[in-house]
Amino acid sequence: MSLLDRLRTLGQDREDLLHGESDPFGVPVEEVYSATEARIGGRTVLLAGTNNYLGLTFDPGCIQAAHDALAAGGTGTTGSRMANGSYASHLELERELADFYGCRFAIIFSAGYLANLGMISALVGPGDVAMIDADCHASIYDGCRLSGADTLRFRHNDPESLDKRLGRLGEQAARTLIIVEGLYSMLGDRAPLQAIVELKRRYGCLLMVDEAHSLGVLGENGRGLAEETGTAADVDFVVGTFSKSLGGVGGFSVSDRPELELVRYSSRPYIFTASPAPSVVASTREALSILRSRPELRERLWHNARQLYGKLEELGYRLGPDVSPVVAARLDTPEKALALWRGLIDEGVYVNLMLPPATPAGQSLVRCSVSAAHTPEQLDRICEAFATLSEQAAHLTRRAGS
């Protein structure tokens, strides 16, 4: 097999699935009208797959902050934080993040993906162990590979599986970093964090929680699952992103451990990546301020999540185990998932198509992301689209069986 044959095989698999029709992956959004509407394929569609949980991408304050920073600081820093790219605004955002989480230290990265790569590769190395939930995000897997540590998986959300694997490590457990997510992005379920914290204490490990999808979503103040479960004091490092609830791009880590500051000198993704643009930092700071001052956004988000989850469950769709702003319909085959995705587009609703191997347990998913910006009327339209396609599928099934 040549170097390119692997890609050609992938291309053939893709063609076999699509049968010459349009590719649902990387669909171009031609124009964005608001946090919930856009033009795709020449038609206006409802956006129900953006992870824009608080709907802040079009918030006037965030846009104005970005405009002001763009005019004052230019389009980019053209350098890493270790070179010329450490601006006063970067330091201010780090201080504000640390204050928000009630921690002493914070560090920001240029992307959420880089935050996991940078943190994991700095915290563990050859001879250490990264103990990760099997359903962790690809960036966590890649951070483990970059670190050179021994990577062990435990069954998804299964403390008993974690206990068994830690028990086999012996003294090496003290050189182990446990990594879980607050809210898992595929099915919207949550880590059993209290049980994991108990095991972390028993075996003397460190614990890192990726709160990318739970920032602004879970907890009394929106700090994530650690806040909601009362375990924040036992989480050694929190990692998150600006590209979900905060409506920007970038990543971060916060901790009470002073060693976080040393990550700046040992993390290659931090050292060798250009720092976030001033406009992105400014909009993120404004979004964080809004998250802190407007809890009604989170309340509206959860009202919308319960409405969509409840209606799709009533329609007979197989969903994830927990009500959350991630509402994923589980289909038997990639072909059925693709058909549902295309049907929703035809009905004017854009969602995410998620197929193996990116999905847990080889499942095929049509995934919705609920936003606080969705109006009751828009949620009704989304539910009506799912209802129409459910009725069509039932009709075809009856005809096939007759």
Tokens of 358: 């990116």
Cβ neighbours, 10 Å, residue 72:
11
CA distance 92 to 87: 9
- Does residue 394 surpass a pLDDT of 70? no
CA distance 398 to 402: 6
**Which residues of the chain does CATH 3.40.640.10 include?**
58-293
Tokens of 300: 């509206």
CA distance 308 to 304: 6
In tens, the pLDDT along 65-103 reads 999 999 999 999 999 999 999 999 999 999 999 999 999
| Of 61-65, 116-120, 213-217, 334-338, the least confident | 334-338
Active-site annotation, residues:
185, 213, 244
Helices (H), 244-375: 268-271, 278-293, 295-314, 334-346
**Averaged pLDDT of the chain:** 94
For 185-197, what is the mean pLDDT?
A: 97
**What pLDDT shows up at residue 21?**
73
In tens, the pLDDT along 243-284 reads 999 999 999 999 999 999 999 999 999 999 999 999 999 999
Would you say 130 and 167 are in contact if contact means Cβ atoms under 8 Å apart? no
Secondary structure class of 178 (helix, strand, coil): strand
In tens, the pLDDT along 17-40 reads 777 677 788 789 999 999 999 999
Q: Indicate the DSSP class of residue 324.
A: S
**Which residues of the chain does CATH 3.90.1150.10 include?**
13-47+295-401
Percent of the chain with pLDDT over 90: 88
**What pLDDT shows up at residue 160?**
98
Fold annotation for 58-293: Aspartate Aminotransferase; domain 2 (3.40.640)
For 153-158, what is the mean pLDDT?
A: 98
In tens, the pLDDT along 160-169 reads 999 999 999 9
Spacing of C-alpha 36 from chain mean position? 18
CA distance 125 to 107: 20
CA distance 167 to 358: 30
**What pLDDT shows up at residue 396?**
44
CA distance 123 to 204: 15
Percent of the chain with pLDDT over 70: 97
Which residue type, as a one-letter code, is found at position 193?
L
Cβ neighbours, 10 Å, residue 257:
14
Res. 402 pLDDT band, cuts 50 70 90: very low
In tens, the pLDDT along 106-146 reads 999 999 999 999 999 999 999 999 999 999 999 999 999 99
Which residue type, as a one-letter code, is found at position 267?
S
CATH for the stretch 13-47+295-401: 3.90.1150.10
Q: Is 156 exposed, middle or buried (0-12, 13-18, 19+ CB in 10 A)?
A: middle
Cβ neighbours, 10 Å, residue 212:
27
